[in-house]
Amino acid sequence: MNREKLYSLIKLKRSFLCIGLDTDIEKIPEHLKKSDDPVFEFNKAIIDFTRDYAIAYKLNLAFYERCGSSGWLSFEKTIDYLRGIGNIFTIADAKRGDIGNSASQYAKAFFDNLGFDAITVNPYMGYDAVAPFLEYKDKITILLALTSNEGSSDFQMQLCGKKYLYEVVLTRSAGWGSSDQIMYVVGGTKSGVLTKARHLVPDCFFLVPGIGAQGGDLKSVCEKGMNDKCGLIVNASRSIIYCSSERDFAEQARKAAFELQQQMETELSNRKL
Amino acid sequence: MNREKLYSLIKLKRSFLCIGLDTDIEKIPEHLKKSDDPVFEFNKAIIDFTRDYAIAYKLNLAFYERCGSSGWLSFEKTIDYLRGIGNIFTIADAKRGDIGNSASQYAKAFFDNLGFDAITVNPYMGYDAVAPFLEYKDKITILLALTSNEGSSDFQMQLCGKKYLYEVVLTRSAGWGSSDQIMYVVGGTKSGVLTKARHLVPDCFFLVPGIGAQGGDLKSVCEKGMNDKCGLIVNASRSIIYCSSERDFAEQARKAAFELQQQMETELSNRKL
């Protein structure tokens, strides 16, 4: 799936919501823990109840690797399930990055074998750590630019001449592939930088984490980050999947996703998208 | 295992060789492919034949994830096998890095569940992406500083004021934990920077990739990077594990490992270590 198809999907569902399946085995409702694969059952229920309002699902590998090879099995079952549904953009939130030979293996794992549409990649090791992902022309490589955590100031905000490092990452990597293929993580909590990032890479999509359920945050992110093809995928994880720890967890997740979708529809309509 | 124990191990084996188990399913000798788990059988043979000469084994996750959950099973069997042997320093070459909550899951996965002594971590996201690993006082966190690939010049060599980014990474992160806990990847192919890196963090161990079987490389790395507790772990992967693709692959790997160990013993003895 490339940028054009992603935009079609956004128009179809009137949403640019990504739901982060950061499924923590310790936070799964009790009644699911008796099943053979509680993590997959949880994911399946969340997907079934939210898929009308979300265009994308992001699977954070950390939570699956925590459970070893059986966690990887839950991970594989979840992506298989998502691929069977259609009209969903799938992201492996893996934040991988390694020299060419190893990066090729990661690209094969997530693109060829598992069929993800996109993967998050850490840019620290430079071009040859990213190139093997960009060889897949119909897939999207999502580079970390400015993340939403406090520690992002340690290195991403280092001044390199007159530019911050994250700006150097944006401008340099933008030459590595087309805006159809490259997307960036730009932290939503730092909305000042969204304006700057949008100026530097006008066409690329941004994956924005760190947005709570508050409309105010979303409104500000849209003002600063949207372009004429939406250009934003906004992620929410815990604020959706852990709304309730009871039997109604999936219904409550649906309500939370619906609320965000409604706000997103307003933002899209306001801009005649 | 901390720095002191690592140094004892180096003195015991008269070696600072790490063997990288970058086990590519496509490069495994034909006769092993009939077994239930060719990757594990290959690793086991390599370990059995080289363990006299290597102090450490480094498992590169990319090659295991390439095979999905069954690859993760081979990975788990390999680390279990290594832990059973003793006198071996084990490194998960995962290059992970994510915000606190996710990094904690990775730390649990590799330190608690799998029992690795060390993991490679990408510093791009800053302190809070590294802190969850540093909470394990008896484990070692190996931060990427300057990698050995060409692309390392893209961002790691960006000038931040008067310092290169990798120097900022070294000096800033050195304050996050003790030199017992923190190690750095410093590329062996750029031996000019080894001197500088050693000056900036005199006590920390460096994990040096990118060394071929040539004695010249090793000699130069030792001149520039060794300290009074050795301070170096030198990795070799393909030049050892793929010496032969025939039935004698493990014997040939042993010979290649022995050659490197002999050169290392000379370097240690020359410095009265």
pLDDT tens for each residue of chain A, 273 residues long: 888 899 999 999 999 999 999 999 999 999 999 999 999 999 999 999 999 999 999 999 999 999 999 999 999 999 999 999 999 999 999 999 999 899 999 999 999 999 999 999 999 999 999 999 999 999 999 999 999 899 999 999 999 999 999 999 999 999 999 999 999 999 866 668 999 999 999 999 999 986 764 444 899 999 999 999 999 999 999 999 999 999 999 999 999 999 999 999 999 999 999
Complete DSSP assignment for chain A? --HHHHHHHHHHHT--EEEEE---GGGS-GGGTTSS-HHHHHHHHHHHHHTTT-SEEEEEHHHHHTTHHHHHHHHHHHHHHHHHH-S-EEEEEEEE---HHHHHHHHIIIIIIT--SEEEE--TT-HHHHHHHHT-TTSEEEEEEE-SSTTHHHHTT-EETTEEHHHHHHHHHTTSS-TTTEEEEE-TT-HHHHHHHHHHSSSSEEEE----S-HHHHHHHHHHH-BTTB-EEEEESHHHHTS-SSTTHHHHHHHHHHHHHHHHHHHHHHTT-
Count of residues making up chain B: 273
- B138–A contact, CB cutoff 8 A: no
* Binary contact (B151, A22; C-beta < 8 A): no
Number of A–B residue contacts, CB under 8 Å = 177
Token pair for residue B165? 């980014």
ipTM: 0.96
- B37–A contact, CB cutoff 8 A: no
Q: Which residue of B has its CA nearest to A172?
A: B154
* Binary contact (B73, A75; C-beta < 8 A): no
- A109–B contact, CB cutoff 8 A: yes
Read off the pLDDT of residues B151-166 as tens digits, 9 standing for 90 and up: 999 999 999 999 999 9
- Measure in Å the smallest separation between the Cα of B118 and chain A Cα atoms: 16
Give the active site residues of B: 95
- The owner of tokens 């906004």 is A234
Q: What gap in Å lies between CA B129 and CA A252, rounded to an integer?
A: 30
Active site residue A77: no
- Predicted pLDDT of residue A48: 98
Q: What is the CATH number of domain B3-270?
A: 3.20.20.70
Q: What gap in Å lies between CA B134 and CA B136, rounded to an integer?
A: 5
- Measure in Å the smallest separation between the Cα of B270 and chain A Cα atoms: 33
Q: What gap in Å lies between CA B256 and CA B20, rounded to an integer?
A: 13
For residue A206, list its beta bridge partners. A184, A232
- Predicted pLDDT of residue A252: 98
* Binary contact (B147, A101; C-beta < 8 A): no
From A77, A95, A229, A255, active-site residue = A95
